[in-house]
Amino acid sequence: MATKEIAGITVNVTEDGYLTDPSQWTREIAQAIAAEEGIALSDAHWKVIDFLKKDFASTGALASIRRINKTGGIPTKDFYTLFPDGPLKKAARIAGLPRPASCV
């Protein structure tokens, strides 16, 4: 396991940059990771991140794109626009959650 300094805080990360301890996550860290991905977080982005975190806390798993749509109320098209080129991976990394582990 590696550590990395993000937004002035040293956090534990996987090889591909996902936080391994959700308790180390802060909103500043999210902004810094988003910046690495070339994304400036807007309210619409935060709605996705907040849903992913809340859902992860209650289910123990990263929500699928279908669940983000049906339960989170974020249309799939908007989700792809907000986090271009690999939306679930990027959103999960920004939210300090594990890398997507499902095929859909």
Q: Which of 42, 60, 77, 101 binds another protein (CB under 8 A)?
A: 77
Within 40-69, which residues bind another protein (CB under 8 A)? 64-67, 69
CA 65, CA 79: separation in Å to the nearest integer? 8
**82 touching another protein, by CB under 8 A:** no
86 touching another protein, by CB under 8 A: yes
Q: What is the dihedral of CA 100, 93, 47, 63, to 10 degrees?
A: 10
Q: How far is the CB of 49 from another protein (least distance, A)?
A: 18
Token digits of residue 27: 């909103």
- Residue 81 near residue 30 (C-beta atoms within 8 A): no
d(CA 36, CA 76): 23
By the rule CB under 8 A, 104 interacts with another protein: yes
Tokens linked to 86: 């690999």
Catalytic-residue membership of 64: no
Of the residues 1, 40, 103, 104, only one is catalytic, namely 103
Chain residues in the site for another protein (CB under 8 A): 64-67, 69, 75-77, 80, 84-89, 100, 102-104
